[in-house]
């Protein structure tokens, strides 16, 4: 076990590891257990009872948090001509040209969301080895491959707090829900939006529990167990 600092131990002492907290209690503890000098991100972590190897149990979706993520989201768009101009007008941070393609191939990934129009996916595919492992590959299922007319909507949603979540191969799911500096009400509403989205994606005919464990945590802070029954699972 790694040695913990005094701030972490003091924060952890406020949490009962044997207790599952209500949403309101958990949000309060998350705000009360900040151990960093910067404003930490609050994340939710699920241990699900699904088998990601089965297509019908692959949990993946997108949710737009009502109060955003509290960060500047950099959006990169693969588009040409009128679509590129539309993306630029909508506030895209980067429009990919040949020079930027080469830069990405070299490992540059200083952006948070990549969006593409379908006709550009041939070029985007060449970047799979760079974008894929970082979760930045545009994907129709994630709503990041869209017709040019939909680019403004996707760009605006991304900057407003659009969160893509996906269960990993071990059955875990992780997603940010905001910053610890958010008011308890705003953080609670973002949390509820994420919980509702995961709830909507419960596979039909799943045997056994859907959610086995839910934990909230802020960056470098201790985890707070959420009562999955009280959360509606």
pLDDT digits (tens, 9 = 90+) for 127-164: 999 999 888 999 998 889 999 999 999 999 999 888 98
Percentage of residues in the chain having pLDDT higher than 70: 99
Domain ranges of the chain: 17-69+162-225, 75-159
Q: How far apart, in Å, are the Cα atoms of 105 and each of 20, 57, 98, 108, 128?
A: 45, 33, 11, 7, 9
Half-sphere exposure at residue 77, Cβ-oriented, CA atoms within 13 angstroms: 29
165 HSE (CA, 13 A, CB side)? 28
* Pairing state between β 211-218 and 224-225: antiparallel
Report residue 168's pLDDT band, with 50, 70 and 90 as the boundaries.
Answer: very high
Q: Is the dihedral of CA 165, 166, 168, 172 positive or negative?
A: positive
Q: Beta-carbon neighbour count of residue 4 at 10 Å?
A: 13
75-159 shares the fold of 17-69+162-225: no
Q: Which residues pair with 63 in a beta bridge?
A: 163
Backbone angles phi, psi at 136, to 5 degrees: -110, 5
pLDDT, tens digit, 9 for 90 and up, residues 84-130:
999 999 999 999 999 999 999 999 999 999 999 999 999 999 999 99
CA angle 227, 229, 230 (to 5 degrees): 65
Is-contact 117 79, C-beta < 8 A? yes
Average pLDDT over residues 158-172: 91
Q: Is the pLDDT of residue 2 over 80?
A: no
3-state secondary structure of 7: helix
By residue count, the chain amounts to 233
Give kind and range of the element (H or E) at residue 64: strand 60-64
The predicted pLDDT at position 1 comes to: 54
Per-residue pLDDT, 141: 84
pLDDT band at 71 (very low <50, low <70, confident <90, very high): confident
Tally helices (H) and strands (E) across the chain.
8, 9
- Radius of gyration of the chain from Cα atoms? 19
pLDDT at 130: 95
Third-level CATH fold of 75-159: Rossmann fold (3.40.50)
Question: How does the average pLDDT of the chain come out, rounded?
Answer: 93
The fold adopted by the segment(s) 17-69+162-225 is Ribulose 1,5 Bisphosphate Carboxylase/Oxygenase (3.30.190)
CB 49 within 8 A of CB 196: no
């Amino acid at each position: 076990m790694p040695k913990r600092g005094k701030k972490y131990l003091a924060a952890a002492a406020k949490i009962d590891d044997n207790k599952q907290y209500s949403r309101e209690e958990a949000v309060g503890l998350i705000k009360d257990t900040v151990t960093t000098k910067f404003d930490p991100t609050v994340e939710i972590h699920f241990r699900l009872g699904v088998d990601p190897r089965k297509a019908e149990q692959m949990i993946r979706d997108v949710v737009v948090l009502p109060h955003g993520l509290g960060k500047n989201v950099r959006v990169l768009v693969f588009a040409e001509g009128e679509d590129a101009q539309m993306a630029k007008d909508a506030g895209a941070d980067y429009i990919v040209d040949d020079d930027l393609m080469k830069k990405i191939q070299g490992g540059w990934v200083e952006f948070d969301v990549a969006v593409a129009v379908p006709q550009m996916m041939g070029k985007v595919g060449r970047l799979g080895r760079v974008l894929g492992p970082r979760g930045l590959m545009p994907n129709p299922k994630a709503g990041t491959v869209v017709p040019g007319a939909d680019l403004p909507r996707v760009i605006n949603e991304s900057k407003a707090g659009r969160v893509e979540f996906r269960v990993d191969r071990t059955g875990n799911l992780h997603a940010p829900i905001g910053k610890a500096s958010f008011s308890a009400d705003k953080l609670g509403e973002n949390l509820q939006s994420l919980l509702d989205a995961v709830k909507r994606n419960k596979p039909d005919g799943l045997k056994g529990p859907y959610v086995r464990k839910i934990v909230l945590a802020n960056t470098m802070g201790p985890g707070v167990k959420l009562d999955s029954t009280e959360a509606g699972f």
